[in-house]
A and B are shown apart, each in its own frame.
Chain A
Amino acid sequence: MRNLLPVLVVLAAIIGIWYAAVAPMNIRVALDQAERAGVAVEPAGSLERRDTSVWRLMAANPGQISAGYALERPRLPTPQQVGQELWKTTGEMALRGRAMSKRSLIYHGWITLQSTLWGFLLGTTLGILGAVAIVYSRVVDMSLMPWAIISQTVPIVALAPMIIVLSSQLGIEGRGVPKAIISAYLCYFPVLVGMVKGLRSPAVSQLDLLKTYNASGLQAFFKLRLPASVPYLFTSLKVGIAAALVGTIVGELPTGAISGLGARILIGDQFGTPLAIWAALLAAAILAGLLVTLLDVLQRVTLKRMGMQA
């Protein structure tokens, strides 16, 4: 409970700032609508208003500020509107038995989650294998590590369409595989870096001790390096799964995908439905939170079972 209080305070602050920001963000739209409905606004005409600051507009039309909180297509929706839209496209549809309808965010979230998990699996496997190779081979360390770092400086948004095109050239149907590849591309790096650190974490004296036992390299790996890297692994996994989700959403954005949270964001943008964008964003944030929390619980349970002081 003591941990909850600071989180709630920050949450309250964010929501407060959000609500306060709605008024200036939506005043122009609210005035345009009011003028069309025949209400006198100051100054008249949207061209006229374009050169006036939002603060002036608010001061001149205090009666229209509240209208900004109830727009159908606001520039910035209120948290309440986003919450309602999210509920309408998730819980309410689920209650009506339409959770997997194409209009439901549960359906789109599920599409995104699948790619995320495949990408996470692929990225984690590559990351761990790469780390083992780096730790055991100086040549790999010197050749692979710089490329791994460079790979993360390439903007993924630019890379994503290429991966889609290339994989379709290879005859791969659907977007599942290329999305997972994009997701893995973002996710392998934190796992690689964390595992290299973890596998190298045993002190020199620990390795010397195994040498005095005349232990084999394999024994040193499974009895010392691997268990020693577990806390590092979980920390990287938590970063990795969040990166995998971002990768999947990015893979859905510029590629003409029609399902998935990224596709919802893009469609919401194209059709001018900001509520849909925000609801999809919030859904993605909730999904990320759930995944990271799940790994956190898994970490606690594992470390506790291993006897490490958690």
Chain B
Amino acid sequence: MNVAQNDKEVPGQARDGAGPVIEARNLDLTFQTNDGPVQALKDVNLTINKGDFVSFIGPSGCGKTTFLRVMAALETPTGGTITVNGMSPDEARRKRAYGYVFQAAGLYPWRTIAGNIKLPLEIMGFDKSEQEERVNKVLQLVDLEGFGKKYPWQLSGGMQQRASIARALAFDADILLMDEPFGALDEIVRDHLNEQLLALWARTEKTIGFVTHSIPEAVYLSTKIVVMSPRPGRITDVIESPLPKERPLDIRDTPEFLEIAHRVRDGLRAGHAYD
């Protein structure tokens, strides 16, 4: 992360007292598979407030990705209610309320980085000059100025993922949903991107839902950590992080940090005790 972004102010006040952005009540989701029904989510209750950074952590099969996909209207729950910005997820999708980032950057190889970021803008019908303006703005946000004319294969994995985050930010959705965005990257790149993501979050005041299977990543990034466990997928613990908004990387060696990490680990272990 460069110096310029480190001296940016970290807004906290805007988040306080803000209403819920995502509210899930008694959410159930059962997939019908060839091996019979699989309960991916069972009785999930969660409130995400504006400006929250919420991590979902748990072993595979715990429904964390499914939950994120339900928020984005990519899956339809079979029971309970969920609202996004006070609407159904599908209405929110039509209003383009969220940017979604997948584990694979998924950039189009036939488009330049700028072209990839323009993709949602073209689809949403922004005019040409505004497209350019927004591309430049988000390229700066993810620290990729000057790379707009490059093609994806000319960039490293970490840079590609940053470009895919820029693509999700381009159309000013206030919710950013990220499904293990750094899962395929090595640890050094990952630390770097985590730091950048925090700075970006502070600058843009987005509400972020973040799926991960890394405990340090979840604790480092989040204001709220949702611990989930599998079969059936459910929430076992919700931890409000007492860590300050400003988090240098070495905060990970403080006793507070280790204590939260410990609680997350306990939550994960308790979930596993059922099998």
Contact = CB atoms under 8 A, between A and B. Distances in A.
Interface string B116-133: 000110111000000000
Interface in B167-198: 171
Nearest to A210: B123
B112 interface: yes
Contacts of A211: 73-74, 93
Contact of A212 (B93, B104, B110, B151): B93
A209 B106 contact: yes
Given A203-B104, A223-B119, A307-B151, A212 B98 contact: yes
11 contacts: A203-B106, A209-B106, A211-B74, A213-B96, A213-B124, A228-B108, A228-B110, A230-B110, A307-B110, A307-B112, A309-B153
Contacts of B108: 224, 227-228
Given A205-B102, A212-B74, A308 B109 contact: yes
Nearest to A205: B102
Given A212-B99, A214-B124, A223-B123, 15 more contacts: A205-B103, A205-B104, A208-B74, A209-B100, A210-B123, A212-B93, A212-B96, A213-B96, A213-B123, A214-B123, A307-B109, A308-B110, A308-B151, A309-B109, A309-B151
Interface of B: 69, 72-74, 93-94, 96, 98-100, 102-104, 106, 108-112, 119-120, 122-124, 151, 153, 171
Interface bin, chain A: 20 to 34
Contacts of B111: 307
A215 interface: yes
Contacts of B98: 212
A203 to B, nearest CB: 7
B181 to A, nearest CB: 12
A168 B111 CA distance: 50
A80 interface: no
A306 to B, nearest CB: 4
A306 B110 contact: yes
Contact of A214 (B69, B94, B119, B151): B94
A158 B99 CA distance: 58
B112 to A, nearest CB: 7
B175 to A, nearest CB: 10
A193 B221 CA distance: 47
Contacts of A213: 96, 119-120, 123-124, 171
A255 B72 CA distance: 62
A101 interface: no
A212 B72 contact: yes
